[in-house]
Amino acid sequence: MKASLVGDIGGTNARFALWRDNDLHAVQVLATADYSSPEQAIEAYLKDQGLERGDVSDVCLSVAGPVDGDEFRFTNNHWRLSRSAFCKVLQVERLSLINDFSAMALGMTRLKPGEFVEVCPGQADAARPALVIGAGTGLGVGTLLSLGEQHWMALPGEGGHVDLPVGNAREAAIHQQIHSQIGHVSAETVLSGGGLVRLYQAICALDGAAPRHKTPAQITDAALGGEPQALAVIEQFSRFLGRVAGNNVLTLGARGGVYIVGGVVPRFAELFLRSGFAASFADKGCMSGYFPGVPVWLVTAEFSGLLGAGVALQQMLDH
């Protein structure tokens, strides 16, 4: 019996695994910069597993961007892909591409104890949508729907590019500071790795402080070390994330809960859990009463996108 393969391809790393018995096996992480194409990276992965071209029948890849048509250009690395050429080169019978946040959403159905932390208490309504939102290289937003009998549907979207919401005079000043530099201010402008730096620079400018840090890691480390300016940035980041997540909950009716994913927030998880996220999340005027009981979790699982690609593949194989 031929193998099935799943992949989760990001800007820096591509994660691959064999999909067998409804689970991941032989997970391996490869640097995208080391390979000229996804085909070349997959061949290297297969070689490490003692497999060759033609040994894999089905492939499902999680990728950043819309997945229509034969040609796909990765938005966060130098790779390009033609579905027909991919199948021919690797002698694959079927290739499925799934939006990265659709895969991330499906991955939430496989969370295990210890892979998430409660941010806001509540009881998820399984009959209602769940929101999956995460800051990383950009800001991803996805929707998870239960179809019953352990079947799921993930709806992709571009919710990271909505306008950044403003809730008070300080946030209006921050918005204006950033707008004066770049024009339109989307949620992703602030709620991403690069956005953390942009937010830090804006707050320093408003407070008349000279910026001391140039990378997200430096800002996070400074905040964890107690530096007031960096702490203020993390606090404001958390509050903006609360506002964006709350807007999405109202739009979707997402009483199925909110999953916060991505690489940025887990790096300052303790600060985030003590932040004003929850207050901003529910700060919706006459609709603030909608939020008590909507659970929010911070997800720390390592391979949710890869698992989600596997869930998508399994659902296709089952049909």
State residue 97's pLDDT score: 94
Task: Domain ranges for the chain, please list them.
Answer: 3-99+304-318, 116-300
State residue 146's pLDDT score: 93
State residue 319's pLDDT score: 77
State residue 74's pLDDT score: 82
Binding positions for ATP: 7-12
- SS3 state of residue 224: helix
For residue 310, name the pLDDT band (cuts at 50, 70, 90): very high
**In the chain, what percentage of residues exceed pLDDT 90?**
87
State residue 264's pLDDT score: 95
For residue 318, name the pLDDT band (cuts at 50, 70, 90): confident
**In the chain, what percentage of residues exceed pLDDT 70?**
100
Residue 309 has pLDDT above 80, yes or no: yes
Q: Which CATH class is domain 3-99+304-318?
A: alpha beta
What lies within 8 Å, CB to CB, of 319 at 6+ separation is none
Q: Give the number of other CB atoms < 10 A from CB of residue 66.
A: 12
State residue 119's pLDDT score: 98
Q: Give the number of other CB atoms < 10 A from CB of residue 149.
A: 5
- The closest alpha carbon to 119, from 255, 279, 287, belongs to 279
- SS3 state of residue 196: helix
Mean pLDDT score, 163-189: 97
How far apart, in whole angstroms, are the C-alpha atoms of residue 105 and residue 123?
18
pLDDT, tens digit, 9 for 90 and up, residues 233-270: 999 999 999 999 999 999 999 999 999 999 999 999 99
Q: Longest C-alpha distance within the chain, in Å? A: 66
Asked if residues 309 and 8 have their Cβ atoms less than 8 Å apart, the reply is: yes
Mean pLDDT score, 84-104: 93
Residue 1 has pLDDT above 80, yes or no: no
State residue 218's pLDDT score: 98
Binding positions: 7-12
Angle between helices 193-207 and 216-224 (to 10 degrees): 60
Average pLDDT of the chain, as a whole number: 94
Radius of gyration of the chain (CA): 20
Mean pLDDT score, 218-232: 97
At which residue do the structure tokens 């918005």 appear?
Answer: 175
Which numeric CATH code is attached to 116-300? 3.40.367.20
pLDDT, tens digit, 9 for 90 and up, residues 38-89: 999 999 999 999 999 999 999 999 998 778 888 888 877 789 999 999 999 9
For the record, the structure tokens of 120 come out as 């806001």
For residue 11, name the pLDDT band (cuts at 50, 70, 90): confident
